[in-house]
Structure 1
Amino acid sequence: MRLSFRDKAISGLLTVVPANERKFVDEMANFNFSQARSLKLKQVMGYDRHRIVAGPVCASDLAVAGIEHLLAGGHLVRDDIDALIVVTQSPDYLMPATSHVVQGRLGLHADMICLDINQGCAGFIVGLMQGFMLLDQPAVAKVVLVNVDVLSRKVSPRDRNSYPLIGDAASITVLERREDAGVIEAELKMDGTRRETLMIPAGGFRRPSDAETAAMIEDAEGNVRSLDHLKMDGSAVFNFVMTEVPELIGGLLARTGTTVDEVDAFLCHQPNRFMLQKLADKLAVPHEKMPSNVVENFGNSSGVTIPLVTTFNLADALLAGSRKVCLAGFGVGLTWGAMLMRLGPLRFCEMIEYREDV
């Protein structure tokens, strides 16, 4: 699906990461693999450390901390928020929506839209699309887009396939109308026939959690998890990314008459360093134009990784001026999307830490 947006812009970007940092070498003993095999994986995939919540922290906790930081710094005014979108696959409750929880905790006014979107790795792209569409309404002048996940709480610490790369984080993106913003072009595709590639099998109404779903089972590769935990088919994910994503991004560039040289940065979802470097090679993008350093420093925080790679690598540049960027998200669903836009100058672009003891 092709989408275009005019006179819409990102005006600011904040990311929130837990202060709790865990190192891969300290967690290797939890896995049913030799130290040598685990260290080889660390080298190839780019594992080093990740940020995960230390206790029963929920999505709304990270979201509220981020928005309160912006309110305190004068970057947001409570009464100016016309719409609040929360994109998460780890909501506080089955009901009510996490956006309502955040609105209530912050004491925001009632004359606004609160909306939850259940999306993961491509959630930032989907959230931007929804936010830009809301800005077509005369009554909506400012949209706050929250991407947040605390999926470490649903990944087995004995699953070497997933646990070393998982991270928790939130991002707060402010969207506004801007007449000089130019045209934003986007592409989005979805394929639910491959939904089991990334899945938490139990915990919903299809398979409620019980004693049976909590039982820990070792798979053929030596990973130990239950049906209540995230299960990822790593080979299928890799093949999906290498097959579908280059075609999508390449098609977007071709449709808009844009060359790789004309794009300043390809800001992609961060599954791991190895996969991103292979993706860059497929697209003939220089590695320095596609940063791949998020998983080794913070972990894969699902839809938050695009804002995270942006604030971690381009904050100074985007505060000072603008860059032509290609955003791309791909994963659970399966869902894959890309967006070509001019980003910046931003009013704020920073990263803060969330501390459970504050």
Structure 2
Amino acid sequence: MRLSYRDKAISGLLTVVPANERKFVDEMENFNFSRARSLKLKEVMGYDRHRIVAGPVCASDLAIAGIEHVLTRGHLAREDIGALIVVTQSPDYLMPATSHVVQGRLGLHTDMVCMDINQGCAGFIIGLMQGFMLLEQPAVAKVVLVNVDVMSRKVSPRDRNSFPLIGDAASITVLERRADAGVIEADLKMDGGRHEALMIPAGGFRRPSNSETAEMMQDAEGNMRSLDHLKMDGSAVFNFVMTEVPELIGGLLARTGTTVADVDVFLCHQPNRFMLQKLADKLSVPHQKMPSNIVENFGNSSGVTIPLAATFNLTDTLLNDRKKVCLAGFGVGLTWGAMLMELGPLRFCEMIEYREDV
């Protein structure tokens, strides 16, 4: 699906990461693998450390901390918020929507749109698409897009395939109309026929959680998890990314008459360093143009890895300059999308820590 937007822009980016940092070398004893094998995987995949919540922290907690920071700093006025979008696959409740919870806890006005979007690795891209569409309405002055997940609470700490990768984080993105923003082009694809490649088998209405779904089982590779935990078919996900994503991004560049050299930076979802560098090679993108250092420092926080790549690597650049960027998200669903746009100069571009004891 091809989508285009005019006179819309990102005016600010904030990311929120938990202060609780865990190191891979300190967690290796939880896995049924030798130290040598785990250290080899650490080197290849780029495992090092990740940020995960401590205790019963929910998506709304990270979201509220981020929005309050933006409001307190004067980057955004409460009365200008016409829509609040929360993209998450780890909501506070099955109902009501987490966006309503955030609105209520912040005491925002009632003349606004609150909306949850259930998306994962491509969630930031899909959230931008929805936000830009809402800005077509004159009554919506600004959209606050929250992308947040606390998926560490649904990953087995004895699953070496997933737990060392997982990270918790939130991003707060302010969208608004801007006459000089130019055209934003996007492509999006979905294939629900492959949804089992990345999923949590139990916990929904199809298979409610119970004592049986909570039972820990060992897979053929020695990982321990239950049906209530995230399960990933690593080979299927890798093949999907290497096959579908280069074609999507390459097609977007081709149809817009854009070369790799024309793009200043590729801000992509980061499953792990190895996979992202292979993707860069497939697209003939120099590694320095596609940052791949988020998972090793913070973990894979689903779609939030895209804004994290911006706030961690490009803060000074995006505060002062305008750059041609290609955003791309891909994963659970299966879903893959890419967006080509001008980014910057931003009103704010910052990363903060969330402390559970504050």
User: TM-score when scaled to structure 1?
Assistant: 1.00
- 1:316 aligned to 2:283? no
Map 1:213-252 onto structure 2 (within 5 A): 213-252=213-252
- RMSD of Structure 2 on Structure 1 (CA): 0.3
Which residue number corresponds to residue 67 of structure 2? 67
Which residue number corresponds to residue 193 of structure 2? 193
Q: How many residues align?
A: 358
Q: Equivalent residue of 2:156, what SS?
A: coil
Q: Return the offset for 1:76.
A: 1.2
Which residue number corresponds to residue 46 of structure 1? 46
Which residue number corresponds to residue 112 of structure 1? 112
Which residue number corresponds to residue 78 of structure 1? 78
State how far apart, in whole Å, the 1-side matches of 2:79 and 2:181 are: 24
Q: Equivalent residue of 1:70, what SS?
A: helix
Deviations 1:266-297 (A, max 9, x none): 00000000000000000000000000000000
Q: Equivalent residue of 2:314, what SS?
A: helix
Deviations 1:55-110 (A, max 9, x none): 10000000000000011100111111000000000000000000000000000000
State how far apart, in whole Å, the 2-side matches of 1:288 and 1:149 are: 27
State how far apart, in whole Å, the 2-side matches of 1:107 and 1:167 are: 29
Deviations 1:90-143 (A, max 9, x none): 000000000000000000000000000000000000000000000001111100
Which residue number corresponds to residue 143 of structure 1? 143
Q: Equivalent residue of 1:305, what SS?
A: helix
Q: Return the offset for 1:37.
A: 0.3
State how far apart, in whole Å, the 2-side matches of 1:140 and 1:80 are: 8
The AA in structure 1 aligned to 2:295 is: V
Deviations 1:329-350 (A, max 9, x none): 0000000000000000000000
Structure 1 runs (4+) deviating above 6 angstroms are none
Q: Equivalent residue of 1:165, what SS?
A: coil
State how far apart, in whole Å, the 2-side matches of 1:62 and 1:73 are: 17
State how far apart, in whole Å, the 1-side matches of 2:17 and 2:350 are: 11
Gaps of 5+ in 2: none
Gaps of 5+ in 1: none
The AA in structure 2 aligned to 1:171 is: S
- 1:173 aligned to 2:179? no
The AA in structure 2 aligned to 1:272 is: N
The AA in structure 2 aligned to 1:59 is: A
Which residue number corresponds to residue 353 of structure 1? 353
